[in-house]
Amino acid sequence: MKNFSKLEKNLGVKFDNKNLLKQSVVHRSYLNEHPEFELDHNERLEFLGDAVLELVVTEYLYLNYSNPEGELTNWRASLVNSVMLSTIARELDIESFLYLSKGEAKDTNIKARNYILANAMEAIIGAIYLDKGYEVSQIFIKDKIISKLAEILEKKLYQDPKSRFQEVAQEKAGVTPTYKVLEESGPDHDKHFVVGVFLKKDLVTKGEGTSKQEAQVNAAEEALDIKDWE
């Protein structure tokens, strides 16, 4: 039995309609195994929460920063992307309250779990909005999500991983990273690339993707982690 009063405490929001909070953490896969479950999955709440989150963040950035649109767009994307939302979801221990199928619960794929957590985070925002209205949603988003903006700006996390790795590699190692396709496979309509990122002649790590660009970005992201240069 899940203790939703603990989740309310983690979120800092007391719900009038507890079922809204409960529904926000129900993944579609759970209903496949439990069709008798009394609530629907969280995708409609996620749809609503996504819009509320984007509005609150956009409004905050517009009112507090006079930067050009392009910069504000990048900052917003860094605040509302799945990596950031899943990180915050873990901080709030939302994962303990998810309703998942047995298969999903056992799945060790980090990216897949991050996606589920990010969606649950948006669904929770949707539930807060329906239960408590815009102002409480705004307070929650400022406290839990917009509070990460200072770190994003300080570490330049709003840059894409390739730009970030290049800047930090030049700063720390005096070297501009280079990328080289190490493997290429599959038919033209379904290519798979493995790309290495190098500092001078040293291979830092590899990245994979369905395009060279995607593989390069994944390699840069992995390189930042390996070098602990985030």
User: Got the DSSP string for 116-162?
Assistant: HHHHHHHHHHHHHHHHH-HHHHHHHHHHHTGGGHHHHHHHTTTS-HH
Q: Is 183 a catalytic residue?
A: no
Q: Which of 38, 40, 46, 50 is catalytic?
A: 50
Using one digit for the tens of pLDDT, what is the confidence trace for 1-23? 789 999 999 999 999 999 999 99
Q: Where are the extended beta strands (E) located within the chain?
A: 178-185, 192-199, 202-209
Q: What is the dihedral of CA 153, 133, 85, 66, to 10 degrees?
A: -20
Q: What is the pLDDT of residue 230?
A: 60
Q: What is the pLDDT of residue 153?
A: 93
Identify the CATH number of the domain defined by range 4-155: 1.10.1520.10
Q: Please state the pTM of the whole predicted model.
A: 0.77
Q: Is 122 a catalytic residue?
A: yes
Number of Cα atoms under 13 Å in the Cβ half of residue 59: 12
Q: Which of 46, 104, 122, 131 is catalytic?
A: 122
Residues of the chain with pLDDT under 50: none
The full set of domain ranges for the chain reads 4-155, 161-227
CATH of the structural domain 161-227, one choice from 3.40.50.720, 3.30.300.30, 3.40.50.360, 3.30.160.20: 3.30.160.20
CA atoms of 58 and 56, how far apart (whole Å): 6
Fold match between domain 4-155 and domain 161-227: no
